[in-house]
C-alpha cells in the first residue's frame, strides 16, 4: 500500500469574499492510495486559519506514506482503523481517510456502504459585497431555483445587507455566516433586529475560543458553531452556546470522525449542518453520507468554481443531485 499527494488549482467563477478576505482561485490537495490494482482518491482544502498550507498537508501525507513502509503486512482496514486515527484532525487526515473509504467502497461493490439521498437541498453562497451587489447575487441565485441561501457577512452594514438579500429572495430560506466577525457588535440587539428577515440560522458570530460570550444572550435565531467545533471532542464546549454544529470533513479529519461527530451532536440535542471548504465535486461527494442525514447542507463548493472536475456532481434548482457514491 502506498499514498501519494499532489497540488491542484481551480479558478473561481467570481471573487469569493468572506470576513477574513477574498480570493480568486482555490488550491486543493489530492491524495491517492494504491494497493494492488485498486486505488482511491480524495481531495482536501488546506486552510490557513487552521495553520495549514499546501506544502504542510502534502508533507503530512508523504510522512504517513513513509510510516506505512515500517509495517511489513498491511490491510486497508487495519490502516484505516489503527493508523489514521493517530493523525491530527485536519485536511491531510481528511484526504487519507476519504481515500481509504473510496478504496473500501470498491471492495464492497455492488453493496453500498452508505445510503445517499438522490437529491439534497444545498445552500448557495452570497459573498460579501455592497448591499446592492449582494442583492443582485441573491436575485440571480433565486432565479436559478435556489431554495437556501448562505449569506456571508462581516461586521459592516449587517442589517442593510441582509435586508437587500431578503428583498430579492423572498421565498428562499436564509442562513447567515459571520465567520467570527461580530464580537464587537451589540449582539442581543442585532439578533433581535434580524428576526424580521426570517433567518433560519446564524453561523459563528464570535471568534472560536470566545464562545462563552454567547451564553445567556437571548437569541431567537438558532446559532451554529463552525470554527469552534472540529471534532466530537469539542461538543461539550458547544452546549449552552449553540443549537447547531457545522461539520466539515477538512475540520474533522475525514468521514470517519464526521460520522462520530454527527452522532455525538445528536445525542446532545444539537442540530447538524454539513458544510465544506471551497473545492470540487471530489471533496463534496465524500461528505454525502453525513449530508444525507443533516438538517442543513452547504456543499456548493463546485458552484463557486469556473470549472469543476469532469463528471462532477449536478447542481440544479437549488438541489445537489447525487450519484450513488461509495459503491
* Rounded CA separation 208/204 (Å): 8
Q: What is 119-321's CATH topology?
A: TIM Barrel (3.20.20)
pLDDT bracket for residue 326 (50, 70, 90): very low
pLDDT number for residue 212:
96
pLDDT number for residue 73:
65
> Would you kindly state where each structural domain of the chain is located, as residue ranges?
2-108, 119-321
How does pLDDT run across 111-142, given as a tens digit for each residue? 567 889 999 999 999 999 999 999 999 999 99
Please pick, among 117, 215, 248, 251, the residue that the annotation labels catalytic. Answer: 248
Bridge partner residues of 237 (DSSP): none
pLDDT(22) > 90: no
Q: Is 152 a catalytic residue?
A: yes
- For 2-108, CATH gives 3.30.390.10
First to last CA, the chain: 21
Q: Could you identify the residue written with the cell 437529491? A: 119
Q: Is 167 a catalytic residue?
A: no
Please pick, among 2, 117, 147, 152, the residue that the annotation labels catalytic. Answer: 152
Bridge partner residues of 3 (DSSP): 33
- Is pTM, for the whole model, over 0.85? yes
How does pLDDT run across 184-196, given as a tens digit for each residue? 999 999 999 999 9
How does pLDDT run across 214-264, given as a tens digit for each residue? 999 999 999 999 999 999 999 999 999 999 999 999 999 999 999 999 999
Q: What is the DSSP string of 178-214?
A: -TT--TTS-HHHHHHHHGGG-EEEEE--S-TT-GGGG
pLDDT number for residue 75:
86
Could you give the angle at the alpha carbon of 59 between the alpha carbons of 73 and 40, nearest 5°?
Answer: 50
Phi, psi of 202 (to 5 degrees): -120, 130
* Rounded CA separation 175/167 (Å): 15
Amino acid at each position: 500500500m502506498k499514498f501519494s499527494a499532489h497540488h491542484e488549482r481551480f479558478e473561481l467563477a467570481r471573487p469569493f469574499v468572506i470576513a477574513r478576505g477574498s480570493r480568486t482561485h482555490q488550491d486543493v490537495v489530492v491524495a491517492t492510495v494504491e494497493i494492488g490494482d485498486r486505488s482511491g482518491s480524495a481531495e482536501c482544502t488546506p486552510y490557513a486559519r487552521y495553520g495549514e498550507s499546501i506544502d504542510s498537508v502534502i508533507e503530512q501525507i508523504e510522512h504517513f506514506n513513509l510510516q506505512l513502509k515500517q509495517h511489513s503486512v498491511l490491510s486497508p482496514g487495519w490502516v484505516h482503523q489503527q493508523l489514521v486515527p493517530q493523525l491530527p484532525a485536519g485536511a491531510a487526515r481528511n484526504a487519507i481517510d476519504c481515500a481509504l473509504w473510496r478504496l473500501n467502497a470498491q471492495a464492497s461493490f455492488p453493496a453500498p456502504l452508505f445510503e445517499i439521498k438522490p437529491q439534497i437541498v444545498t445552500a448557495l453562497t452570497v459573498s460579501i459585497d455592497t448591499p446592492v451587489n449582494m442583492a443582485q447575487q441573491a436575485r440571480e441565485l433565486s432565479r436559478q431555483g435556489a431554495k437556501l441561501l448562505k449569506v456571508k457577512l462581516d461586521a459592516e452594514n449587517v442589517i442593510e445587507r441582509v435586508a437587500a438579500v431578503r428583498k430579492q429572495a423572498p421565498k428562499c430560506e436564509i442562513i447567515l455566516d459571520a465567520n467570527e466577525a461580530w464580537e464587537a457588535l451589540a449582539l442581543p440587539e442585532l439578533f433581535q433586529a434580524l428576526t424580521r428577515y426570517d433567518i433560519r440560522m446564524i453561523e459563528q458570530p464570535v471568534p472560536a475560543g470566545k464562545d462563552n460570550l454567547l451564553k445567556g444572550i437571548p437569541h431567537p435565531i438558532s446559532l451554529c458553531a463552525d470554527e469552534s467545533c472540529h471534532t466530537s471532542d469539542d461538543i461539550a464546549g458547544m452546549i449552552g452556546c449553540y443549537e447547531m454544529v457545522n461539520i466539515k470533513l477538512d475540520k474533522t479529519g475525514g468521514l470517519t470522525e464526521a460520522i462520530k461527530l454527527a452522532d455525538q451532536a445528536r445525542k446532545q440535542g444539537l442540530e447538524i449542518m454539513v458544510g465544506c471548504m471551497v473545492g470540487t465535486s471530489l471533496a463534496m461527494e465524500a461528505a454525502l453520507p453525513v449530508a444525507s442525514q443533516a438538517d442543513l447542507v452547504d456543499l456548493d463548493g463546485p458552484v463557486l468554481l469556473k470549472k469543476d472536475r469532469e463528471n462532477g456532481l449536478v447542481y440544479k434548482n437549488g438541489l445537489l443531485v447525487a450519484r450513488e457514491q461509495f459503491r
